[in-house]
Amino acid sequence: MATKGLSEEELLGIGGFGRVYKGKLRISKTEIAVKRISHDSKQGMREFVSEIVSTGQLSHRNLVQLLGYCRPKGELFLVYEFMSNGSLDKFIYDET
């Protein structure tokens, strides 16, 4: 529900092992970024667990915080705070 059913209009980007969607939590109205781990990913569950463990232990003012994860019906989702200014690679590699 937060991402309007993983709507293409909420798609923020596509990474190495999934798509990232913008969403908003219904009750708190908190903006979030939801990473849907791709079924095409060769490591899938290993990457999912590794990202939970590594980002769950990190805390820094310049890093987005992992808020949670879920596994509905065999799908894998990671939920992060939303960073409104976009990704760092946009500022490093964007030539416009």
Query: Annotated binding residues, as ranges?
Result: 35
Spatial distance between the Cα atoms of 14 and 3, rounded to a whole number of angstroms: 15
Q: Is 31:22 a contact under the CB 8 Å cutoff? A: yes
Pick from 38, 58, 57, 63: nearest CA to 48? 38
**Which residues are part of a known binding site for ATP?**
35
Q: Is 81:67 a contact under the CB 8 Å cutoff? A: yes
